[in-house]
């Protein structure tokens, strides 16, 4: 990995690592996705089945995974994996139940009632991609908060295998999360189907969950027709560590993100030159043991770095500038700096809070803001599946008090009809 020092490295070299890459425009991908969206919107199931045959299942003839197919897939899962999925689901459920919001109403002495009506969305689609392997954890992270919010219909979109079946782990996760129906479709065509609706696939209110560049582009283009959770970029981790940190643990956390893909980012910020050298050696040692060594090495070469800072405060300052998806804090007193961390998707405190624990079983959501968007956005939560309506009920006494002020504001803005609507109540 590159080893840089804030006191001696060239500013442009530091900037290339610290400046968060924004979601870049990709005209070629955008053109291809626009074509897919238009095709699915016009031809419905016929178009979707053609894309499924092209990308996943050559003999595709059905988009809906039947209950009997789900049952058969579940029966193939080992007790150990079933137990792991159940453990994750229970922890995710327990954590997210604390986020639930309720409606509230206040009645003032003049008879004015003000409040907020909180209601769940009706229909949600959960994207559960397979990539090189199934992602049952992402299905749980998206579907369980929706269930807690009270969403009436939760649908899962996951690409089939070459024989048309879905991965057994996905079937178990879908059952555990209590989803209503599973569809064997993924990619941009899956996003299009749930955004516009087809003969077999219902139009939903919101589409959530991760995906590759084509899925992310599709989500961006259908936003407004449906809601989306976020536009996710490559995975990333920043580790803040001092001389007390275990270099084996730090190196393993950096590699846990680097192995995702070659665009992932893994950065260590430390005031300890000695730790920096140890971690650098340990990363190289552990790299040789990884099945995804080539991907991890490409990631670290392009986007990884060890940055030696003047002190711990500078490390915290740089972490806030990056606003990473995952921020791991491995220092002598990790809780002591929690108040100084302002911008991060997930904050992992202490040497035992390794990033994969947060990804799988701790309970907090692992669908997190990336590419610096933790500056202004948050992890997926129950709130993402709720809509809020303002409630206003004025009495005669209340409008007599506030109405004249509303008239003045309306007239200032040149909206005569607004002013007249209020005056009609005041005069009668």
| Token code pair at residue 261 | 């893909």
Longest dimension (CA), the chain: 83
pLDDT at 25: 73
- Region 32-43: what's the mean pLDDT? 98
- Region 143-160: what's the mean pLDDT? 98
8 A C-beta contact, residue 340 and residue 316: yes
pLDDT band at 346 (very low <50, low <70, confident <90, very high): very high
Residue labelled with tokens 């804090």: 329
8 A C-beta contact, residue 170 and residue 134: yes
pLDDT band at 130 (very low <50, low <70, confident <90, very high): confident
pLDDT band at 21 (very low <50, low <70, confident <90, very high): low
- Region 53-81: what's the mean pLDDT? 96
Q: How far is CA 160 from CA 51, 139, 215, 334, in A?
A: 12, 15, 16, 43
| Token code pair at residue 377 | 């956005």
pLDDT at 24: 64
Lowest-pLDDT range, 9-13, 269-273, 319-323? 9-13
* Phi, psi angles (nearest 5°) of residue 235: -65, 155
- The whole-angstrom separation of Cα 272 and Cα 307 is 10
- Region 335-349: what's the mean pLDDT? 97
Region at 363 (left for phi over 0; alpha for psi -120 to 50; beta for the rest): left
Residue among 210, 142, 165, 219 nearest 188 (CA):
219
Is the confidence at residue 219, as pLDDT, over 90? yes
* For the chain, percent of residues with pLDDT exceeding 70: 98
- Region 79-101: what's the mean pLDDT? 97
- What's the start-to-end Cα distance of the chain, in Å? 77
Lowest-pLDDT range, 15-24, 103-112, 178-187, 260-269? 15-24
Catalytic residue ranges: 325-326
Is the confidence at residue 412, as pLDDT, over 90? yes
H or E element, residue 302: helix 293-303
- Region 129-144: what's the mean pLDDT? 90
Question: What domains appear along the chain, each with residue ranges and CATH number?
Answer: 3-20+233-362 (3.40.50.1980), 27-228 (3.40.50.1980), 395-427 (no CATH)
Residue among 336, 349, 343 nearest 321 (CA):
343
Write b or e for each residue in 373-405: b if 16 or more Cβ atoms lie within 10 A of its Cβ, otherwise e: bbeebebbbbebbbeeeeeeebeeebbeeebee
Neighbours of 187 (CB within 10 A): 25
pLDDT at 23: 60
- CB pairs under 8 A, 24+ apart, for 44-49? 44/198, 44/199, 45/198, 45/199, 45/200, 45/201, 47/189, 48/185, 48/189, 48/190, 48/192, 48/193, 48/198, 48/200, 48/201
DSSP 205: S
H or E element, residue 12: helix 11-18
Give the predicted TM-score (pTM) of the model. Answer: 0.94
pLDDT at 303: 93
| Token code pair at residue 327 | 């921020």
pLDDT band at 327 (very low <50, low <70, confident <90, very high): very high
Q: List the alpha helices (DSSP H) in 56-212.
A: 67-74, 79-97, 136-149, 168-177, 187-196
Burial of 361 (0-12, 13-18, 19+ CB in 10 A): middle
Is the confidence at residue 16, as pLDDT, over 90? no
* For the chain, percent of residues with pLDDT exceeding 90: 94
Is the confidence at residue 182, as pLDDT, over 70? yes
* Phi, psi angles (nearest 5°) of residue 269: -115, 120
How many Cα atoms within 13 Å fall on the side-chain side of residue 115?
Answer: 12
pLDDT band at 428 (very low <50, low <70, confident <90, very high): confident
């Amino acid at each position: 990995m590159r080893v840089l020092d804030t006191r001696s490295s060239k500013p442009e070299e530091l900037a290339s690592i610290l400046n968060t890459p924004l979601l870049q425009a990709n005209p070629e991908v955008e053109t291809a996705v626009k074509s897919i969206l238009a095709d699915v919107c016009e031809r419905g199931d016929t178009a979707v089945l053609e894309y499924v045959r092209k990308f996943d299942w050559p003999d595709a003839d059905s988009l809906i995974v039947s209950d009997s197919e789900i049952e058969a897939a579940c029966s193939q899962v080992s007790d150990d994996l079933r137990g792991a999925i159940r453990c994750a689901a229970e922890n995710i459920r327990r954590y997210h139940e604390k986020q639930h919001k309720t409606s509230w109403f206040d009645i003032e002495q003049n008879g004015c009632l003000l409040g907020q009506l909180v209601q769940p969305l009706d229909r949600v689609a959960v994207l559960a991609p397979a990539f090189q392997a199934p992602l049952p954890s992402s299905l749980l992270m998206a579907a369980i908060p929706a269930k807690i919010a009270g969403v009436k219909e939760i649908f899962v979109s996951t690409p089939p295998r070459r024989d048309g079946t879905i991965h057994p782990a996905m079937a178990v996760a879908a059952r555990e999360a209590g989803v209503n129906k599973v569809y064997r479709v993924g990619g941009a065509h899956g996003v299009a189907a749930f955004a516009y609706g087809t003969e077999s696939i219902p139009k939903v209110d919101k589409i959530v969950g991760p995906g590759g560049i084509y899925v992310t582009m599709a989500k961006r283009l259908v936003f407004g027709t449906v809601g989306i959770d976020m536009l996710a970029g490559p995975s990333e981790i920043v580790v803040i560590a001092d001389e007390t940190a275990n270099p084996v643990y730090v190196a393993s956390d950096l590699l846990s993100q680097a192995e995702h893909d070659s665009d992932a980012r893994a950065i260590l910020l430390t005031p300890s030159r000695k730790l920096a050298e140890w971690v650098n050696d340990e990363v190289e040692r552990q790299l040789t043991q990884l099945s995804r060594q080539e991907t991890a090495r490409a990631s670290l070469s392009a986007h990884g770095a060890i940055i030696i800072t003047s002190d711990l405060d500078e490390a915290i300052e740089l972490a806030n500038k990056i606003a990473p998806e995952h921020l791991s804090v491995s220092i002598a007193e990790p809780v002591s700096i929690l108040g100084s961390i302002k911008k991060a998707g997930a904050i992992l405190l202490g040497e035992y809070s390794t990033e994969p624990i947060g990804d799988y079983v701790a309970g907090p959501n692992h669908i997190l803001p990336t590419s610096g968007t933790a500056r202004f956005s948050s992890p997926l939560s129950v709130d993402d599946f709720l809509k809020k309506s303002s409630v206003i009920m004025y009495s005669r006494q209340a409008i007599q008090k506030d109405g004249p002020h509303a008239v003045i504001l309306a007239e200032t803005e040149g909206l005569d009809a607004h002013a007249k609507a209020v005056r009609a109540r005041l005069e009668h």
